[in-house]
Homo-oligomer: A and B are copies of this chain.
Amino acid sequence: MARPDEDGLITRYFAPLAGPGADGLRDDAATLSPSPGCDLVLTADAIVAGVHYFSDDPPGSIARKALGVNVSDLAAKGARPRGILLTLALPDDWTEAWLAAFVAGLGDGLADFGLDLLGGDTVRAAGPAVIGVTAIGEVPTGGIVRRRTAQIGDRICVSGSIGDAALGLLLRGPRPPDWARAMAAADCDALVDRYWHPRPRIALAPILRRYARAAMDVSDGLAGDLTKMIKGEGRSADIELSRVPLSAAAANALALEPALLPLIVTGGDDYEILCAVAPENLDACLAEAVAAGTALACIGTVTAGFGPPAFQDADGTPRALGTGSFSHF
């Protein structure tokens, strides 16, 4: 079957996903305005075959990841998702079956995350697929939650569970680790699912706007991203490792292989929320997060200092984990 040209791709696959303002993707640009009293919030992240995902990952999962990593940034800034533009650089050997599955996952992801497809571009590149997304959300005017505004004494919270995707990446890789053999299949599946399918914490966005003094999403590892949040302002952090929230599957893996702890805390692709909350707001913040269906765990405190975050066991013993950040670059 002949592969369609770019106009054919747009008509067949992308136009059905177009939102209002995009004129059915039959024009070169879309219009968008924030709701009254709101600012738009813009972010752009790309994922690359062989770097951010495996080339043979399910195409629908790849699409969902490309959306999820961007929506996670919007959520961490307190923003409600509005729309995306998609730039798809396809390798020479792309197939229409791959694209159809990609677009199916894209459509599901757009619907789940509340996004319209506003535009984009499809190009051929003699290399790995590069999937670039610009995501647009909105916050009440002036309400964006910034990254570097934590204050000494603020409590540090993190959503969901940490480390699942880094463990899932090991399981998905070419040489599954020894500990995987002793794991229940359902636990392994759960961890790989977390690697494939970021769960951007959209429900926390309004809670962050109300209570978080600073926030960012955890995409390059908890330790490294926390370092980014506090660095350069005479601030450090004390983190109690036993409070870092783990899924049942990650806890099982850690019980089998205690040496996984550094990976859990420094590995990437969590797409959880990391935030700093004034002590007097902590209880309300945690309660509202539970009510919104995504728990936040308080894992430590912003301290005065210039060093990297200090990680401690429950008995106060320091643990050196490195402050390395996972880098896709």
Q: Interface code A200-237, partner B: CB below 8 Å = 1, 0 otherwise? A: 00000000000000001100000000001000000000
**Contact A329/B5 with A26-B147, A29-B77, A217-B28 known, Cβ cut-off 8 Å:** yes
| Given A87-B132, A130-B130, residue A122 in contact with residue B32 (CB < 8 A) | no
For A152, what are the chain B residues with a Cβ–Cβ distance below 8 Å?
Answer: none
Q: Which residues of B contact A1 (CB under 8 A)?
A: none
With A124-B329, A132-B87, A328-B123 as given contacts, are A41 and B46 in contact (CB-CB < 8 Å)? no
> What CA separation (Å) do A153 and B42 show in the bound complex?
41
Distance in Å: Cβ of A94 to nearest Cβ of chain B = 10
Q: Which residue in chain B gives the minimum CB-CB distance to A31?
A: B39
A45 at the interface (CB under 8 A from B): yes
Q: How far is the CB of A303 from chain B (nearest CB, A)?
A: 21
What bracket does the count of chain A residues touching chain B fall in?
35 or more
In the complex, whether A199 has a CB less than 8 A from a CB of chain B is: no
Partner of A33, one of B34, B122, B327: B34
Q: Is A141 an interface residue (CB 8 A)?
A: yes
Asked if residues A122 and B329 are in contact (CB atoms below 8 Å), the reply is yes
Q: Which of B7, B44, B127 contacts A127 (CB 8 A)?
A: B127
| Cβ-neighbour of A85 out of B42, B47, B122, B329 (below 8 A) | B42
Instruction: Report chain B residues within 8 Å CB of A86.
Output: 44
Mask of A125-141 contacts with B, CB within 8 angstroms, 1/0: 11110101010110101
Q: How many copies does the complex hold?
A: 2
List A300-327 residues whose CB lies under 8 Å from chain B.
327
Measured between alpha carbons, how far is A222 from B264 in the docked complex, in Å?
Answer: 56
* A40–B44 CB distance below 8 A: no
Q: By CB atoms of chain B within 10 A, which of A44, A52, A136 has the most? A: A44
Contact (A123, B130) CB under 8 Å given A32-B40, A144-B29, A147-B28: yes
Which residues of the partner chain B approach A192 to less than 8 Å between Cβ atoms? none
State whether the Cβ of A189 lies closer than 8 Å to any Cβ in chain B.
no
**Contact assessment for B124 and A127 in the assembled complex, using a CB-CB cutoff below 8 Å:** no
Q: A51 is contacted by which of B26, B44, B124, B144 (Cβ under 8 Å)?
A: B124
Flag whether A58 is at the interface (Cβ < 8 A): no
Residues of A within 8 A of B (CB): 5-7, 23, 26-34, 38-48, 50-52, 73-74, 76-77, 79, 85-87, 89, 91, 118-128, 130, 132, 134, 136-137, 139, 141, 144, 146-148, 216-217, 228, 327-329
